[in-house]
Chains A and B, each alone.
Chain A
Amino acid sequence: MNTELEQRLRADMEHATSGVRVPPGLALKAYRHYRKRTITTRAVAAAGTAAVLTAGALGVAEVTGAFGQPAGGAQARTTAYVISRVEHALSAPDMANMVAYTRTVYPAGFTLHPVPGGVNGSGGPAASSPRAGGYEVLWAYHRSTNLSFFTASGQRVFGERITVGEKSLATSVVTYASHTWWKAQSARPAGTRSGSAGCLPGGEIRLNGSPSAWPDFIHSQLACGAYSVAGRQLIDGVDALKITGGSGQITLWVNPVTYLPMELEQGGITQVDFQWLAPTRANLAMLNMPVPASFHQVVPPA
Chain B
Amino acid sequence: MGSDRAADLESFLAERGELLLRTAVLLAGSREAGEDLLQAALERLLRRWRTIEGDPEGYLRRTLYHLAADNWRQQRAWRTRLRLLQPGAGTAVADGTAEVDLRDSLVRLLRQLPPRQRAAIVARYWEQLSEAESAQALGCSVGTVKSATSRGLARLRELSESSGSSEPAIQGSTRGRS
Interface residues of A (CB under 8 A from B): 1-10, 12-13, 15-17, 20-23, 26-31, 33-34, 37, 67, 102, 104-108, 110-113, 115, 117-126, 128-131, 133-135, 138, 140, 145, 147, 151-155, 157-158, 162, 175-178, 189, 191-192, 205-207, 211, 249, 264, 266-270, 272, 301
Determine the interface band of chain B, counting residues with CB < 8 A from chain A: 35 or more
In the complex, which residues 142-175 of chain B have their Cβ closer than 8 Å to any Cβ of chain A? 153, 156-157, 160, 170-175
CB closest chain-A residue, reference B170: A5
Contacts of A269 in B (CB 8 A): 76-79
Please tell me if the beta carbons of A107 and B73 are within 8 angstroms of each other in the complex.
Answer: yes
B18 interface contact, C-beta 8 A: yes
Nearest CB on A from B82, distance (A): 6
Extra pairs beyond A118-B88, A131-B100 (16, CB < 8 Å): A4-B170, A6-B125, A29-B39, A108-B73, A117-B88, A121-B81, A125-B78, A126-B74, A133-B33, A151-B100, A153-B31, A155-B100, A176-B97, A177-B98, A267-B77, A269-B77
Please tell me if the beta carbons of A121 and B80 are within 8 angstroms of each other in the complex.
Answer: yes
Please tell me if the beta carbons of B121 and A9 are within 8 angstroms of each other in the complex.
Answer: yes
Please tell me if the beta carbons of B125 and A13 are within 8 angstroms of each other in the complex.
Answer: yes
For A270, give its contact among B20, B82, B98, B108 (CB under 8 Å): B82
CA distance A4 to B128 in the complex (A): 16
Which residue of A16, A125, A175, A205 has the most chain B CB atoms within 10 A of its CB atom? A16
B129 interface contact, C-beta 8 A: no
Q: Would you give 9 A-B contacts (Cβ < 8 Å), ordered by A?
A: A2-B177, A10-B126, A34-B46, A112-B92, A120-B88, A130-B100, A131-B98, A131-B100, A155-B101
Contacts of B176 in A (CB 8 A): 2
Contacts of A6 in B (CB 8 A): 125, 153
